[in-house]
Structure 1
Amino acid sequence: MAVVAEADVVVVGAGLAGLRCAHELEGAGLEVVVLDHEDAPGGRIRTDVVDGHLVDRGFQLLNPGYPAVRRWVDTAALDLHAFDAGVAARDADGVRRLGHPWHAPGLLPASVRAVAGSVPGTLGLLRWAAPLLTPGRGSLGRRLGSAPDTSLAASLDAAGVSGLPRTVLDRFLAGVLLEDTGASSAQYARLLVSSFLQATPALPRDGMEALPRQLAARLSGPVRTGVEVEAVERRTGAVGPRVRTAGGAYVARAVVVATAAPGAEALLGVPAPASHGVVTEWYSTTEPPAPRDRARLLHVDGRDRPHGPLVNAAVMSAAAPSYAPPGRHLVGASALLGPDRPVPSSAAMRDHAGELLGSDPRGWELLRRDEVPHALPAQEPPLTLTRPTDLGAGVFVAGDHRDTASIQGALVSGHRAATAVRRALGGAA
């Protein structure tokens, strides 16, 4: 097979992990080539323009409170537009608004009224969150990781979280973890809640794809898109591995596979963890989809039995006006996908979104429906904060399936892989 190019390192995958890894390796003086089968960098974080609207591929937000984002992302350049720090929960009596007491002080009276009848459940929530509020030595992740882990549901039961606080937390985290059984790691859920306590999730002015575009723009070497990688070959007696594509081979001293978990399994045989999926529908409307006092809140179903399939609905353009053209509003509505649940119909999703937002959805225009079956790796207990990146023979692996299932985890994984490559190549650091 003809050799297309030789480099110090070939990175397969131009998502956040691959781009972060490539940037650090270039900073160490190594020649790096990045390959990706898509038509642009970004991995699972992509944004399309649909009839003048910015439509992300699935419901995604950027939390500027993530330590890796603070360290490696120029959030000012992204021009972030935040949602209000709270949720609007529809229950049998109407819509209750609950907010962060520091980030959304204007929601404090409404929050007190919402939980007034759930004092035991609120005290239980404080017990559950106590590790996040107690100062200690070392990072929160390390401190949580040193304690016994259990499922989210079991931890909430043990703390006595009940009533509206339990329902709202369950529904909110279902949209973040992409599972609603409570089977996820309680320690991971606490890490996520901690990040929401520190900062409010937001949208870049130009869509979520602005994040990987920023990372890609920092690279001096090529990001070759539209390249389908067929195999990563360890070569006995050779200087390094070879990446085989339909157009030829790339030869390198090291190869980093920074794809999603199914891709890493296909190329390297690394077992992929179970994954959670999500379906998101995007609607455009000329009428405001929610009252002004809760238009910038995430909407969830706060009833004991949800009246539809959605885990959340949001007016994206209320937070980031750039997401819709003048005179229009953009609504995003998400439901879970999985092998044991029916795929929700568009009619059911639209009706539930209208009910949660308090709007008649019959005039909404469906812009697009995104079904993402492998949106996030499952994070089941006991929580494993890091998995090995060096597979030997010059082959490395990165991605949110090697750390935590988040933007934070993807960036940290790319950093860890770059560190391992520099170490393996000897003195390149």
Structure 2
Amino acid sequence: MKLVSGKTVAVIGAGLAGLSAAITLQDAGCDVEVFESSDRVGGRVATDVIDGYQLDRGFQLINARYPELVRLGIVSELDFIVASRTIDISLGTSQVSLGDPRRHPFSALNPATGSILTKVRFLSYLTSHAKAGMSVEEELIKYGNLYARVLKPFLSGVFLTSPANVDAVSGKEIIRSFISGKPGLPAHGVGELAKALAKRVNTIHLNSRIDAIDQVDADSVIVATDVTTAAQLLDIPNVPKLASSTTWYHEIPEGVTSSKNLLIDGQTRGPVINSIAISNMVPSYAPSGRTLLSSTTIDFSSESEVRRHLAIMWGVSSSDWALIAKYEIPKSLPIFGVGAQGAQSSQFAEGVFIAGDYRTAPSQNGALLSGRLAAQELLLN
């Protein structure tokens, strides 16, 4: 990119999109200031510490093979712990496992998660082009038990909505990224990713709320806030539909599980879409000798309903599990419905550009990509 030294740019929002935009602009020689309304960077990509527990604001993994993370070379700066490539499925009173066939070939032989032929056919789905005008569910429902017991509950946790609500084309790209990816977490929480990116940005103003574009003095502005705030700043009448979620953190007794795998319910017997003893995967998430369970719901649910469902999924009583924290996240992810397409241009008006995952893809990679694209388009103007 041609250097444009001397150009001043204000970036509103220090989430992944804003940080990516700022880094791209700085590398091109721009004078960049980032304004963030809260007291921290990262947006939803943040980690709290409560009573010795590390609690991410919503269960989320980092895919170390996301193209934008590879381009930035940021994962090498994190104490990254790779997640298991196997998921456990609760069926009846037992659990079965399904793993990456390259590493766990025998797990694919269990007919409870679909026949071998069905699983082979699913591989052909991954290499084919998605059909426009269809949902993810419409493309996958033909895979029978593999879809009903494994793919649907798993993907509901990925999209934070039913696959019936997600466009087949954009959805398939995300599914492929999971199949070929390298998911995991930094030892000190997902928020370490945002902190590492922020270290590359020269000027970030925290606790700096911007209510109007004319509050900032710059040649150009990139609005990299959540979509609702962007709509308020730019007077945009319609915004994309957003998925909401709630993450529940419980301390569970030692011995309940030694598994590091994500657990889903293959029979949808309650509101929980996934659950994981996250401190088994990353020991620093819980004090020594304790186990932290992270569970996600996408529909309104009481704690008693969540406890009942967790007891079914894990096969043990949950009555004595201590609730450490509950995170309600009303703007978890944008929903790319059937026929939805990413935005073609980041420019909103003369000198004003927009970035955010709702413009590209509902993922960390989508947020980072949108920030870079907005910055590059700004540089060409």
Same-fold call, TM > 0.5?
yes
Deviates more, 1:278-287 or 1:12-21: 278-287
For residue 100 of structure 1, what is the aligned residue in structure 2?
A: 100
The C-alpha deviation readout for 1:288-320, integer Å capped at 9, x for no partner, is 332x3xx111100101xx221011001111111
Residues 123 and 149 of structure 1, relative CA distance in 2, 3 Å threshold: farther
1:146-157 equivalent positions in 2, closer than 5 A: 148-157=132-141
For residue 374 of structure 1, what is the aligned residue in structure 2?
A: 331
For residue 252 of structure 1, what is the aligned residue in structure 2?
A: 218
CA distance in 2, matches of 1:377, 1:383: 11
The C-alpha deviation readout for 1:244-292, integer Å capped at 9, x for no partner, is 2xxxxx21100100011111111113332001010111112341332x3
- Residue 137 of structure 2 aligns with an amino acid whose one-letter code is A
Residues 205 and 263 of structure 1, relative CA distance in 2, 3 Å threshold: same
CA distance in 2, matches of 1:285, 1:122: 34
Residues 395 and 365 of structure 1, relative CA distance in 2, 3 Å threshold: same
Equivalent pair of 2:89/2:149 in contact (CA under 8 Å): no
Q: Percent identity?
A: 31
- Residue 174 of structure 2 aligns with an amino acid whose one-letter code is L
- 1:181 Cα deviation after fit: 5.3
Question: 5+ residue gaps in structure 2?
Answer: 1-5
Picking from 205, 213, 217, the partner of 1:224 is 205
The C-alpha deviation readout for 1:88-123, integer Å capped at 9, x for no partner, is 111126211000112xx2x33233124576355435
Equivalent pair of 1:155/1:186 in contact (CA under 8 Å): yes
- The answer as to 2:7 corresponding to 1:10 is no
Question: 5+ residue gaps in structure 1?
Answer: 1-5, 132-143, 233-241, 245-249, 338-342, 425-429
For residue 161 of structure 1, what is the aligned residue in structure 2?
A: 143
CA distance in 2, matches of 1:196, 1:407: 12
Q: What SS class does the counterpart of residue 361 from structure 1 fall into?
A: coil
For residue 238 of structure 1, what is the aligned residue in structure 2?
A: none
Residues 73 and 346 of structure 1, relative CA distance in 2, 3 Å threshold: farther
CA distance in 1, matches of 2:317, 2:7: 57
- 1:66 Cα deviation after fit: 1.2
Residues 192 and 49 of structure 1, relative CA distance in 2, 3 Å threshold: same
Equivalent pair of 2:223/2:354 in contact (CA under 8 Å): yes
Instruction: Look at both structures and tell me which one has the larger radius of gyration over its CA atoms.
Output: 1
- 1:388 Cα deviation after fit: 2.0
- Residue 109 of structure 2 aligns with an amino acid whose one-letter code is V
Q: Report the TM-score, using the length of structure 2 for normalisation.
A: 0.93
Equivalent pair of 2:109/2:116 in contact (CA under 8 Å): no
Equivalent pair of 2:113/2:149 in contact (CA under 8 Å): no
For residue 273 of structure 1, what is the aligned residue in structure 2?
A: 240
CA distance in 2, matches of 1:115, 1:123: 15
Q: Report the TM-score, using the length of structure 1 for normalisation.
A: 0.83
For residue 354 of structure 1, what is the aligned residue in structure 2?
A: 311
Residues 93 and 192 of structure 1, relative CA distance in 2, 3 Å threshold: same
Equivalent pair of 1:309/1:352 in contact (CA under 8 Å): yes
CA distance in 2, matches of 1:41, 1:166: 38
Picking from 252, 267, 284, the partner of 1:285 is 252
1:167-182 equivalent positions in 2, closer than 5 A: 167-180=149-162, 182=164
- 1:384 Cα deviation after fit: 1.5
Residues 336 and 117 of structure 1, relative CA distance in 2, 3 Å threshold: closer
Q: What SS class does the counterpart of residue 60 from structure 1 fall into?
A: coil
For residue 239 of structure 1, what is the aligned residue in structure 2?
A: none
Residues 130 and 264 of structure 1, relative CA distance in 2, 3 Å threshold: same
- Residue 297 of structure 2 aligns with an amino acid whose one-letter code is A
Residues 269 and 167 of structure 1, relative CA distance in 2, 3 Å threshold: farther
The C-alpha deviation readout for 1:6-33, integer Å capped at 9, x for no partner, is 9811100000010010111111111111
- 1:379 Cα deviation after fit: 1.0
1:12-411 equivalent positions in 2, closer than 5 A: 12-92=12-92, 94-102=94-102, 105=103, 107-115=104-112, 118-119=115-116, 121-131=118-128, 144=129, 148-157=132-141, 160-180=142-162, 182-220=164-202, 222-232=203-213, 242=214, 244=215, 250-270=216-236, 271-290=238-257, 292=258, 295-303=259-267, 306-337=268-299, 343-411=300-368
Q: What SS class does the counterpart of residue 298 from structure 2 fall into?
A: strand
CA distance in 1, matches of 2:113, 2:239: 44
Residues 181 and 187 of structure 1, relative CA distance in 2, 3 Å threshold: closer
Equivalent pair of 2:113/2:150 in contact (CA under 8 Å): no
Q: What SS class does the counterpart of residue 76 from structure 1 fall into?
A: helix
- 1:353 Cα deviation after fit: 2.1
Q: What SS class does the counterpart of residue 35 from structure 2 fall into?
A: strand
- Residue 169 of structure 1 aligns with an amino acid whose one-letter code is L
CA distance in 2, matches of 1:217, 1:92: 48
- Residue 297 of structure 1 aligns with an amino acid whose one-letter code is N
The C-alpha deviation readout for 1:38-63, integer Å capped at 9, x for no partner, is 10111111110011011011111101
- 1:417 Cα deviation after fit: 0.7
- Residue 161 of structure 1 aligns with an amino acid whose one-letter code is Y
Residues 115 and 126 of structure 1, relative CA distance in 2, 3 Å threshold: farther
Deviates more, 1:73-82 or 1:409-418: 73-82
Equivalent pair of 1:388/1:402 in contact (CA under 8 Å): no
